[in-house]
Amino acid sequence: MKFEPLKNIKILDLTSVVVGPVATWRLGQYGAEIIKVEHPSGDLMRGLGGMSPTGQHSGTYLHLNRGKKNICLDLKKQSGQEIVQKLVAWADVIVANMRPDALQRLGLDADTIRSKYPEKIYCMITGYGTDGPYSGLPTYDSVLQGASGIAGLTMARDGKPAYVPLLLCDHVVGEITVGTVMAALMQRQNTGIGSSIEIPMFETMASFVLQEHLAQQSFDPPVGPPGDLRLLSPHNQPVKTKDGYISFTINTDSQVQAFLKITNRTQLLTDERFSTVASRAKYVSEWFEIRGAALYNKTTDEWLKIFREADLPAMPCHTLETLPNDPHLKAVALINFENHPTEGKTAVIRSTIKVDGNYPVARSTAAPCGWDTNEILDELGYSDIEIETILSQKAAYTHKPNNKQP
């Protein structure tokens, strides 16, 4: 039996770029039916996410928009606004990450929709919420990495701030959004009442950082400076080997003893500074300097064998070039390829979540903007003549001929 807990749940996707598409993609993995509305210019991530054969389907766009039907609408046109209101009526859940003022102008804000449809679940992802002084400001992932202190973590360690080269805020908040929407669906199932959800990215990521790095400042009075001193150690890095790098972590007393033995540092086994978790926390700088010392005398593969024989957690430090070829990822077939309507063969990253022994079946590829416009308009009750009129008015666009059978 397929794992589709959200089967028959309909989601209107008014999102773009990364954070919203992450959320709706994951909901689609759980069986929801999704209709994504795109502006005629297309989602920014179609081009911003990297190169592609046509320039319209970056890898990032393809991976985050799989399994969604796509309708291309100009919401400045009256007919476009009428169509999106029909989609609102169709949906169980509306997910948006447009600016709040833009949503209000279009009548697509939570108050307007839920005053008419109290059973709907409306989820708005914002940069800075709707209450504080930053409300309504534009943002992107890197801006939030700076604002939330993520870039500052590198400054605390290395003396210079740096962004994590991954759209970390977008992915974290997108996944948090999924859990919140599913909780709201459970509440509606129990009460029949919908919810208006607001998820501010800045506050969410600030909380994410502070849960670990408020640390000694979590007490009144504080017992020390902010920051998890282990994570902020400049020695908390992949360790250089004879031919590359190895990544490992050792935390328990037994792991530390095993590590000191396999790296021929047995003289430290009786050093009280490193004998317990509490003492290593007190002498964290000294301990991490020892732990992070280079292991030049053996190759990465040789060290991996030794670490695994000692049952210590260790893996190779992959690069972007080597990661797709990792033997474990190859064995579990994480990446496959399929034909795309315009891009030729494209990679499919399958779901990583196994349920009842099976992975969910990969859903359809992310297609060109407006690929499903005719089909969706037909399902909303528009006649062929009405569809042609809408298309001629440029209120909607299609990139595929109408395949409706006579």
pLDDT digits (tens, 9 = 90+) for 112-148: 999 999 999 999 999 999 999 999 999 999 999 999 9
The answer on pLDDT for 272 being more than 90 is yes
pLDDT at position 107 over 90 = yes
Q: Across residues 74-87, what is the average pLDDT?
A: 97
Cis upstream peptide for 221 (omega within 30°): yes
**Confidence band of 401 (pLDDT split at 50, 70, 90):** low
- pLDDT tens-digit map of 2-16: 889 999 999 999 999
The answer to whether the CB of 306 falls within 8 A of the CB of 314 is: no
Domains of the chain by residue range: 10-207+352-397, 239-316
Q: How far is CA 117 from the centre of its chain?
A: 29
Is pLDDT of 276 > 80? yes
Identify the residue whose tokens are 């605390």: 156
The whole-number pLDDT of residue 99 equals: 87
- Residue labelled with tokens 């009750």: 381
> Given this model, what pLDDT does residue 359 score?
86
pLDDT confidence bin for 404, thresholds 50/70/90: very low
Q: For the whole model, what pTM was predicted?
A: 0.93
Q: How far is CA 338 from CA 194, 233, 322, 341, 353, in A?
A: 38, 44, 22, 10, 20
The class level of CATH for 10-207+352-397 reads alpha beta
The DSSP string of 321-388 is TTGGG-HHHHHTT-EEEEEETTTEEEEEE-----BTTBPPPP------TTTTHHHHHHHTT--HHHHH
Q: Is the pLDDT of residue 327 over 70?
A: yes
Residues 173, 139: Cα–Cα separation, whole Å? 14
Query: CA 15, CA 394: separation in Å to the nearest integer?
Result: 21
Q: DSSP secondary-structure letter at 109?
A: S
Per-residue confidence band for 403, with pLDDT thresholds at 50, 70 and 90: very low
Distance CA 400, CA 343 (A): 15
**What's residue 363's pLDDT?**
84
pLDDT for the residue 251: 95
Residue 92 has what pLDDT?
98
Q: Which CATH number fits domain 239-316: 3.50.50.60, 1.20.200.10, 3.30.1540.10, 3.40.47.10?
A: 3.30.1540.10
CA pair distance 314, 304, nearest whole angstrom:
7
What confidence tens digit (pLDDT) does each residue in 213-226 have? 999 999 999 999 99
* 3-class SS of residue 69: strand
256 band by pLDDT with thresholds 50, 70 and 90:
very high
The proportion of the chain whose per-residue pLDDT surpasses 70, expressed as a percent, equals 98
